[in-house]
């Protein structure tokens, strides 16, 4: 198709997409006008979240962050505008609209004696929050501390406990979501892409929870504004920092220490810094030893009647990461934000080799080997990420918002593996140096090195436009330039593979959230990307639907097409373990990957419970694999590794079940996932085979119990073992130049499975108050409480015609501890009233109960809003932080969103520790 034809097709699609919306606007506007204005308090403070409605009609809107509002399609005539906001007295304004012009009506609200009433459950919070949209989950870092960990709050490890996400990959914080692989996930941090998310053997993710405001994950069927990946999206928003008071903190565990600072920049901005670094300790040594704690000695039966050998790996690792974020309001409509991330890891999986000549004895007790063998397998890996973004947010008017982003990412990975063998005289212990290679045992490995580097420069513009109360448009453009280098050297001087590619993606997207009636939302969208390496345009139509059958029951569905241009390939190596590297699709040896998503589900939600079921199917094409499996690393110098790229397709399908208890002292969930991931690479296997990350059954239990200041939690995971390809023999080939090559023979592709995986983790933590404005959290976690020996992978090597097998295990029983401290300076406004209007109970963050006519316990206190969302209120007082999760609201209009720093008075009562309570909040000037 030519350029003109493609252009005509795009124009036609845009016209078809927009005409119904524009026609509707024109029809409505023929006998209607608009009303706009600003709502403020008596002191001039602009008020966001004010519900503006026209009495006697269904026309309404809500003021934005700057207090502005716009009522569209208002019938001509005389009527009354009603402005309402919790804590403020309702205000009615008479308006006469005589023509189709826009009338400006500014409104001033006075503080009411009481703000609002909501039903809440005290001192509890959801560990996760499921969105109304299908496959969308949100996690707050403040709740992660309640879950078992290795001493660090970790967002990605918490996400692995959600339905549809594998929780058995201890050696990678990457997310295997609904049959996808970590490289198929788009991971964004403040607009820039993170290409590797692992720290410290994969035990930690690359993200410091102290630097994160929230995380939203789209497990599939994601919106048109996201592109470049075929599985899922993880969108991480950095912490904005304090705009009213300095805050500092830090923590230490047996593995690392961390620190952060949140500082105001005058009254218009904030600065945040957070850093982590690991350190050598007996505990890290314990993890190193446990990482592959298995019985050493002879393994299973070898070839030719002899036995294989089993060695344990004792890796060592170190890491660091830093985050920094600056947010500043240039004007009432313009905000700039800059964000920085840098992190690096060093992993040393080297191990010694010590084999006595008796190991090679045959059935009659004789050994063909006269020497002992000793040496070392050197295995070093170094990787890291650097990311930087600059964002400008502009509120053009009441209905139009834009975000301009320039982002840069740099990922690198270096891998080196060599085998150094020494032959030792068993009588004297001295080294034996053979006169020629044939005099000593033959070693099945020599040495290799790999280097992979990826740079990403992205410029994008995102726009939100409200056309009417029932149509909300999102559209934008993005340009991404990638440069990827990968080289693979044998014996340090032979370059087997060397590629250096560059490519640019040019993308446009458009989507409309249409609300045809209050109980239904339909979001069609379209994304198109021109990729200059293939000189083709790839179109991705997408659609999602939400229908509320009742207040508690909703149905949801989504579908779409997705493409990926940068792929992380697996170089399969059964001798020494698989390695991954990033490459750009070129449309030839490495095709552009694509996927089609179909999702459907239903949710039943009450104030305290959520039952959710979702089914999914993903059809993949253009998958790539670098399969040097049958050659291991012993490849001739003139061998072309470029011929070992294979192309295939795949299917991932399954069904997820979730039962969640959201509120109360005891919260948590149970999930079960039944899934299948199957690949078909005709050049590797005549039949479809299970993907390496396939797991038929996965069952998870997450539970958290709060008692006074203590939080006890536990998680249990069970999953079917992962498949792998097992060698069944080998043949030694001698070439004319005298070099020998051991050609391995394999069974069916991924025809064997590792044993089933299961693990129990436990934790306990307690919060302490430090002075008037600080708090500390001290806790202990038990990882793998019953010391299950879960196998991570198997490695193989060949020495003297013997297959050496190594079981690399996950962590065994491990205890860790942590201490986190948070300090902040009280705002000057905190002196405006007493900290409590009751008597403080010793060692408690709650005041002593007052008498109530209905025998309920009544409490009240003063404090500063730290965070407030539609279902969560966090108040910082002089005696600590109070946190509430809101249930079914019993308020008029819409709950307001108070900015951090708002000084409030909270009054609430409850019948006992478990009952739902009523809370009244009053804003203090």
Mean pLDDT across the stretch 110-135?
Answer: 55
- Both 549 and 578 in one domain: the answer is yes
Strand partners, 850: 858
Q: Hey, how many other C-beta atoms are within 10 angstroms of the C-beta on 707?
A: 12
Q: How far is CA 382 from CA 387, 411, 636, 809, in A?
A: 17, 11, 27, 21
The reported pLDDT for the residue numbered 540 is 98
SS3 of 299, please?
Answer: strand
Pick 304 or 567 by higher pLDDT.
567
DSSP 8-state class, residue 897:
-
Read off the pLDDT of residues 27-52 as tens digits, 9 standing for 90 and up.
444 577 888 888 988 766 778 778 89
The reported pLDDT for the residue numbered 760 is 97
Decide if 482 is inside a domain: yes
Helix (H) or strand (E) holding 692: none
SS3 string, 694-742, reads CCCEEEEEEEEEEECCEEEEEEEEEECCCEECCEEEEEEEECCCCCEEE
Q: How many structural domains does the chain have?
A: 4
The reported pLDDT for the residue numbered 665 is 80
SS3 of 286, please?
Answer: helix
What DSSP line would sit under 745-790, residue for residue? EE-STT-EEPPPEEEEEEEEEEEEEETTTEEEEEEEEEESTT----
CATH number of the domain to which 365 belongs: 2.40.170
pLDDT of residue 243 exceeding 70:
no
The reported pLDDT for the residue numbered 492 is 61
Helix (H) or strand (E) holding 284: helix 282-290
What DSSP line would sit under 86-129, residue for residue? TTB--EEEEEEE-SSSEEE--EEEPBPS--EEEEEEET---S-E
The reported pLDDT for the residue numbered 97 is 83
- Record the tokens describing residue 792, joined without a space: 């991570």
In sequence order, what are the residues at sequence separation of 6 or more whose Cβ sits closer than 8 angstroms to the Cβ of residue 435?
none
CATH number of the domain to which 88 belongs: 2.60.40.1120
DSSP 8-state class, residue 194:
P
- Both 174 and 216 in one domain: the answer is yes
Q: Which of 123-132, 365-374, 419-428, 491-500 has the lowest mean pLDDT?
A: 123-132
CA gap 661, 13 in Å, rounded: 45
CA gap 207, 321 in Å, rounded: 8
Asked if residues 677 and 534 have their Cβ atoms less than 8 Å apart, the reply is no
CA gap 269, 243 in Å, rounded: 6
Asked if residues 191 and 183 have their Cβ atoms less than 8 Å apart, the reply is no
CA gap 274, 813 in Å, rounded: 30
The dihedral sign for the CA sequence 49, 54, 55, 59:
negative
- Both 831 and 691 in one domain: the answer is no
Cα separation of the two ends of the chain: 65
The dihedral sign for the CA sequence 116, 121, 126, 127:
positive
∠ CA 291-756-761, nearest 5°, is 55
Read off the pLDDT of residues 735-772 as tens digits, 9 standing for 90 and up.
565 656 666 678 888 999 999 999 999 999 998 888 77
Q: How far is CA 719 from CA 165, 286, 290, 652, 783, in A?
A: 11, 26, 21, 17, 17
What DSSP line would sit under 485-504, residue for residue? EEEEEETTTEEEEEEEEEEE
Decide if 19 is inside a domain: no
- Both 150 and 211 in one domain: the answer is yes
CATH number of the domain to which 193 belongs: 2.170.130.10
Decide if 23 is inside a domain: no
In sequence order, what are the residues at sequence separation of 6 or more whose Cβ sits closer than 8 angstroms to the Cβ of residue 27?
none
CA gap 36, 519 in Å, rounded: 27
Decide if 124 is inside a domain: no
- Both 655 and 792 in one domain: the answer is yes
Decide if 8 is inside a domain: no
Buried b or exposed e, range 819-850, using 16+ CB within 10 angstroms: bbbbebebbebbeeeebbeeeeeeeebbbeee
CA gap 729, 715 in Å, rounded: 41
- Both 35 and 77 in one domain: the answer is yes
Asked if residues 732 and 704 have their Cβ atoms less than 8 Å apart, the reply is no
Asked if residues 210 and 274 have their Cβ atoms less than 8 Å apart, the reply is yes
DSSP 8-state class, residue 8:
H
In sequence order, what are the residues at sequence separation of 6 or more whose Cβ sits closer than 8 angstroms to the Cβ of residue 178?
135, 164, 165, 219, 220, 231, 232, 616, 618, 652, 654, 675
User: Quick one: which of 16, 10, 19, 893 has its CA closest to 467?
Assistant: 19
The reported pLDDT for the residue numbered 315 is 58
Q: Which of 89-98, 384-393, 859-868 has the lowest mean pLDDT?
A: 859-868
DSSP 8-state class, residue 535:
T
Mean pLDDT across the stretch 228-251?
Answer: 87
Structural domain that includes position 74: 31-109
- Both 792 and 884 in one domain: the answer is no
Mean pLDDT across the stretch 158-179?
Answer: 92
What are the φ/ψ torsions at residue 360 (nearest 5 degrees)? -90, 10
pLDDT band at 632 (very low <50, low <70, confident <90, very high): very low
Read off the pLDDT of residues 476-526 as tens digits, 9 standing for 90 and up.
999 999 999 998 887 666 677 788 999 999 999 999 999 998 889 999 999
The reported pLDDT for the residue numbered 792 is 85
Q: How far is CA 538 from CA 282, 525, 582, 599, 896, in A?
A: 53, 14, 21, 22, 42
What DSSP line would sit under 823-878, residue for residue? EEPPPGGGGGS-SBSSPBPTT-SSBPPBP-TTS-EEEEEEEEEEEEETTEEEEEET
Task: Give all strands of the β-sheet with 192-193 in edge-to-edge order.
Answer: 129-130, 136-139, 212-218, 232-238, 185-189, 192-193
- Both 520 and 629 in one domain: the answer is yes
In sequence order, what are the residues at sequence separation of 6 or more whose Cβ sits closer than 8 angstroms to the Cβ of residue 297?
309, 310
Q: What is the largest CA-CA distance in the chain?
A: 110
pLDDT band at 449 (very low <50, low <70, confident <90, very high): confident
Residues in the chain: 925
Decide if 12 is inside a domain: no
Which residue do the tokens 């119904």 mark?
Answer: 20
Q: Which of 102-111, 493-502, 908-917 has the lowest mean pLDDT?
A: 908-917
Decide if 627 is inside a domain: yes
pLDDT of residue 580 exceeding 80:
yes
- Both 675 and 628 in one domain: the answer is yes
The reported pLDDT for the residue numbered 371 is 66
The reported pLDDT for the residue numbered 192 is 97
By DSSP bridging, strand 609-626 and strand 593-605 are antiparallel
- Both 574 and 701 in one domain: the answer is yes
- Both 754 and 807 in one domain: the answer is yes
- Record the tokens describing residue 563, joined without a space: 């493409």
The dihedral sign for the CA sequence 119, 122, 123, 126:
negative
By DSSP bridging, strand 494-517 and strand 520-531 are antiparallel
The dihedral sign for the CA sequence 652, 658, 662, 666:
negative
For 771, left (φ over 0), alpha (ψ -120 to 50), or beta?
A: left
pLDDT band at 362 (very low <50, low <70, confident <90, very high): low
What DSSP line would sit under 587-616, residue for residue? SSSSPPEEEEEEEEEEEEE-SSEEEEEEEE
Long-range CB contacts (within 8 A, 24+) of 165-168: 165/219, 166/693, 166/695, 166/698, 166/719, 167/698, 167/700, 167/717, 167/719, 168/695, 168/698, 168/717, 168/719, 168/722, 168/757, 168/759, 168/790
Decide if 146 is inside a domain: yes
SS3 of 359, please?
Answer: helix
pLDDT band at 135 (very low <50, low <70, confident <90, very high): confident
With residues binned 3-state (H G I as helix, E B as strand, rest as coil), the percentages for the chain, rounded to 5, are 10, 60, 35
By DSSP bridging, strand 102-104 and strand 32-41 are parallel
- Both 364 and 235 in one domain: the answer is no
Q: How many CA atoms lie within 13 A of 888 on its CB side?
A: 8
Among the candidates 750, 776, 811, a domain finishes at: 811
Buried b or exposed e, range 613-629, using 16+ CB within 10 angstroms: ebebbbebebbbbbbbb
Read off the pLDDT of residues 531-541 as tens digits, 9 standing for 90 and up.
999 999 999 99
């Amino acid at each position: 198709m030519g350029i003109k034809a493609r252009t005509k097709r795009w124009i036609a699609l845009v016209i078809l997409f927009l005409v119904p919306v524009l026609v509707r606007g024109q029809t409505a506007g023929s006998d209607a006008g608009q009303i706009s204005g600003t709502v403020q308090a008596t002191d001039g403070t602009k008020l966001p979240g004010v519900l503006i409605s026209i009495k006697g009609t269904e026309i309404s809107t809500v003021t934005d962050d700057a207090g502005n509002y716009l009522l569209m399609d208002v019938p001509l005539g005389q009527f009354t505008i009603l402005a309402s906001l919790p804590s403020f007295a309702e205000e009615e304004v008479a308006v006469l609209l005589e023509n189709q012009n826009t009338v400006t009506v500014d409104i001033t609200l006075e503080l009411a004696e009481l703000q609002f009433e909501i039903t809440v459950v005290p001192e509890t919070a959801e560990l996760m929050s499921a969105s109304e949209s299908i496959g969308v989950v949100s996690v707050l870092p403040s709740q992660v501390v309640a879950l078992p960990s290795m001493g660090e709050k970790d967002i990605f490890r918490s996400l692995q406990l959600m339905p549809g996400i594998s929780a058995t990959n201890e050696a990678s914080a990457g997310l295997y979501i609904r049959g996808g692989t970590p490289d198929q996930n788009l991971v964004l941090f403040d607009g820039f892409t993170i290409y590797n998310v692992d720290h410290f053997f994969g035990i930690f993710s690359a993200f410091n929870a102290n630097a994160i405001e929230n995380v939203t994950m789209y497990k599939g069927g994601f919106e048109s504004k996201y592109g470049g990946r075929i599985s899922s999206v993880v969108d991480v928003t950095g912490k904005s920092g304090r705009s009213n008071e300095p805050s500092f903190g830090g923590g230490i565990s047996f593995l690392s220490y961390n620190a952060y600072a949140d500082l105001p920049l005058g009254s218009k901005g904030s600065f945040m810094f957070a850093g982590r670094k690991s350190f050598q300790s007996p505990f890290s040594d314990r993890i190193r030893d446990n990482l592959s704690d298995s019985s050493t000695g002879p393994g299973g039966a070898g070839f030719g009647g002899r036995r294989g050998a089993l060695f344990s790996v004792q890796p060592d690792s170190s890491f660091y990461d830093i985050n920094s974020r600056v947010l500043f309001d240039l004007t009432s409509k313009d905000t700039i934000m800059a964000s920085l991330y840098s992190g690096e890891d060093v992993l040393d999986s080297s191990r010694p080799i010590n084999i006595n000549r008796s190991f090679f004895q045959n059935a009659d007790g004789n050994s063909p080997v006269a020497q002992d063998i000793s040496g070392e397998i050197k295995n070093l890996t170094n990787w890291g990420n650097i990311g930087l973004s600059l964002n400008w947010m502009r509120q053009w008017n009441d209905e139009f918002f834009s975000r301009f982003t320039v982002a840069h990412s740099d990922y690198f990975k270096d891998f080196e593996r060599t085998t150094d063998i020494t032959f030792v005289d068993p009588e004297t212990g001295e080294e034996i140096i053979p006169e020629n290679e044939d005099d000593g045992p033959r070693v099945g490995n020599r040495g290799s090195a790999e280097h992979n580097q990826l740079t990403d420069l992205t410029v994008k513009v995102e726009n939100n436009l409200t056309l009417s109360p029932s149509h909300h448009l999102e559209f934008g453009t993005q340009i991404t330039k990638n440069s990827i280098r990968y080289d693979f050297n044998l014996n340090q001087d032979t370059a087997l593979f060397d590629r250096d590619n560059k490519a640019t993606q040019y993308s446009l997207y458009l989507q409309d959230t249409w609300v045809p009636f209050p109980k239904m939302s339909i979001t069609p969208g379209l994304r198109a990307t021109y990729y200059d390496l293939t000189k083709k345009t790839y179109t991705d139509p997408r659609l999602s639907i939400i229908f509320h059958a009742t207040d508690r029951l909703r149905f949801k569905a989504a579908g779409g097409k997705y493409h990926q241009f940068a792929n992380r390939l697996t170089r399969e190596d059964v001798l020494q373990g698989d390695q991954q590297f990033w490459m750009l699709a070129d449309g030839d040896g490495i095709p552009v990957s694509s996927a089609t998503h179909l999702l459907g589900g239903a949710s039943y939600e009450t104030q305290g419970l959520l039952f959710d079921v979702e089914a999914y199917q993903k059809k993949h094409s253009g998958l790539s694999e670098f399969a040097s499996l049958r050659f291991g690393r012993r490849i001739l110098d003139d061998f072309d590794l470029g011929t070992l790229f294979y192309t295939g397709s795949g299917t991932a399908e399954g069904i997820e079940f979730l039962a969640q208890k959201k509120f109360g002292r005891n919260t948590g969930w149970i999930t079960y996932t039944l899934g299948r991931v199957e690949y078909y690479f005709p050049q590797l296997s005549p039949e479809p085979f299970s993907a390496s990350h396939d797991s038929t059954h996965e069952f998870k239990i997450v539970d958290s119990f709060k008692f006074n200041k203590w939080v006890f939690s536990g998680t249990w995971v069970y999953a079917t073992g992962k498949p792998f390809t097992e060698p069944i023999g080998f043949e030694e080939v001698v070439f004319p130049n005298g070099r020998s090559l051991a050609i391995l023979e394999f069974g069916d592709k991924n025809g064997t499975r590792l044993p089933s995986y299961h693990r129990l983790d436990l934790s306990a933590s307690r919060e302490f108050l430090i002075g008037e404005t600080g708090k500390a959290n001290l806790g202990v976690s038990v990882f793998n409480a019953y010391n299950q020996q879960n196998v991570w992978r198997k490695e193989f090597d060949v020495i003297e015609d013997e297959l050496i097998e190594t079981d690399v295990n996950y962590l065994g029983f491990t205890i860790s501890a942590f201490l986190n401290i948070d300090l902040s300076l009280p705002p000057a406004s905190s002196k405006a009233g007493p900290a409590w209007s009751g008597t403080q109970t010793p060692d408690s963050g709650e005041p002593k109960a007052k008498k109530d006519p209905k025998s309920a316990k009544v409490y009240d206190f003063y404090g500063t809003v730290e965070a407030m969302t539609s279902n969560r209120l966090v108040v910082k007082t002089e005696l600590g932080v109070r946190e509430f999760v809101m249930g079914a609201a019993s308020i008029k209009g819409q709950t307001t969103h108070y900015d951090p720093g708002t000084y409030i008075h909270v009054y609430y009562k409850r019948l006992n520790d478990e009952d739902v309570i009523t809370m009244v909040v009053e804003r203090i000037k």
